[in-house]
Structures are given as C-alpha cells and as structure tokens.
Structure 1
C-alpha cells in the first residue's frame, strides 16, 4: 500500500505528520511526501521533511489514499490550492481513502465531498464556517470516520488518526 502525504511547505503541525508516519512505517505502508512545491518543508515546531512531488505531478493511480496534514500552513497553502482540492475530489471519486487532520478537513469541504458526512475539525471560526457551508455534520470527537473519509481535530488525535487510516485501508 502507498499513501500520498500532503504537507504544507511551511507551518505544518509536526506531531500530525510524525505520529501517523510511525504507524504507517510499522505497517509497511509506503509514503510519498507531496506539497505545493518540492523541497524542504518546515513544521511549526521545527521539524523538516522533503516533499518529493508536487500536487500537480501526483497521479492518483499510484496511491491507495491521501493524508492531509494540518497546522496553520494548511489554511495558508491548502485551502485555496486548486491542485490539492482537485486531487481530493479525484481520490474520493475513485473510492480511495481521503484523510485530513486539524485545519485540513476544510480542504475536503472545498472539494465538495462532505455533504452529510460525519467529520471533525480543529475548531476556528473560519474552519467551522467552511465545514457547515459544505453540508458536513460536525461531531465533537477526536477522530471521525465516515466511509473512506477520516478526519481528526488536532495534534492530540494524531496517533488515533493514523490508526484509523490503517483500519480503513485494510477494509
């Protein structure tokens, strides 16, 4: 199995990347880091990771799912990324896993795939508004799974988020 991990070029939430990546590695799942540009991406608390592919160069046929990491960089770089929003829609339409944590479930809302779906998100006025506008059903839980859509509300849910992704991938 192989996952595309979407990481903002700046200000991604370190734990939301590190914890799921440990779980994916322990399960033998291959990961590819993608972003709006290739090269070094910098986390909010100092972690660094290299993005080896841009969203426009990613082919969904190469992956079993997409995992979108949160942090303030998500709002800055992802919420209006037409390439990422289009990828999310294509992954969803292909029946693949679509997962997002923290502020990143807003990308799923922008892709128009959340109407009637139970989701969670890091609560801010902007994120809550986007989720409600999309027709999502916001639940007050650390992790929410609705079919092949997995969402989590922030760093403290990072480990459970990674485990939920594994569970859905294996179904």
Structure 2
C-alpha cells in the first residue's frame, strides 16, 4: 500500500503528519511525502517551527495512479497554501475521480472544499471550517472521526490532534480494505 502525504512547503502540523505516517508504516504501507516544491517541508507545532522533512516527490511529478490512498495532514497554513495551488488541488481531486480513499484532519478539508470533493459527503474538521464545508455542499459533524462512504471513495476525517489515535486506526482500516 503506497500512500501519498500531500503537504505545502511549510505550515503542516507536525504531529498530524508524523502520527498517520507511522501508522501507515506500522501497517506495512509505504508513505511518500509529496509537496508543491522540492527540498524539504517545514513542520510546525501549532505556531512554532518544528522539524523539517525531506520531500520524496513534487506534486508536478506525482501521479495518482502510483498511489493507493491519500492523507492530508492539517495545520492552519498548510491547507491554505495547498488550496491556492492548482496542481495540488487537481492531485487531490484525482483521488476522488479514481475512487481511491482519502483521509484529512483538522484544517485539511479546506483543500477538499477547493477540489469540490465535499458535496454530498459527511465529514468533520476543525470547527472553524464548519461553514465552509456546509457552503460547499457537505454535512459537517462534530465527531472524533467520521468515515464517509456515500461517494465515489472512502473519506476519513478527524477534528484535531487529540483525535489522532481514532484517525490513524480508521485510515489504516479503510486504506487496507480498499487496497485488498
């Protein structure tokens, strides 16, 4: 199971990248860090700079066909940068068009909104995205983790870092089912 982790060059919430990454690896999968620029990405612990991580592929060189699933970590700035990048948005939309599972946490559903991927779906996020999700045709719920199967693919969402255990368990379970 090869899983793309799409992040901007800076602004990703470190724990929302590293926890799901480790969960995918422990499940026998191969996580791949995809970004809009080569080099490395600067992660954050809320508003403070944290570690940097090497980029494996740029979104310009990545193909949805090469991956079984997609993870969108949060952080406030990360999805805001991604939703302004046409190639990143097209990459995300490609997973929905291909019927491949997607997982997004915290502010990451902003990128899903931009990809027009929440219409008719039920999901959760950081509470401040509630109106954006509703305006884009989605149904927002306040739950630790939400697995939505009412679309072309499985969509796993969570609200915040405190939900990571449930998020990790759900995404590994759903990604494993989808790749069998």
User: Which TM-score band (shorter chain)?
Assistant: over 0.9
How many residues end up aligned between the 2 structures?
169
Matching residue of 1:85: 89
Counterpart CA distance in 2 for 1:75 and 1:68 is 8
After superposition, the C-alpha distances for 1:30-77 in whole angstroms (9 at most, x for unaligned) are: 011011111111111312211121112111111001111110222431
Structure 2 spans left out of the alignment, 5+ residues: none
8 Å contact kept, 1:36–1:77: no
Matching residue of 1:3: 3
TM-score (norm 1): 0.93
**Measured at CA, do residues 24 and 143 of structure 1 come closer, stay the same or move farther in structure 2, by a change above 3 Å?**
same
Taking only aligned residues, the RMSD between alpha carbons, in angstroms, comes to 1.3
Is structure 2 residue 137 aligned with structure 1 residue 131?
no
After superposition, the C-alpha distances for 1:106-163 in whole angstroms (9 at most, x for unaligned) are: 1111111211211011122xx2332111111000012111021111111111222121
Counterpart CA distance in 2 for 1:130 and 1:85 is 16
Structure 1 spans left out of the alignment, 5+ residues: none
Q: How does 1:11-160 map to 2 (within 5 A)?
A: 11-45=11-45, 46-124=50-128, 127-147=129-149, 148-160=154-166
Q: After TM superposition, where is structure 1 displaced by more than 3 Å over at least 4 residues in a row?
A: none
TM-score (norm 2): 0.88
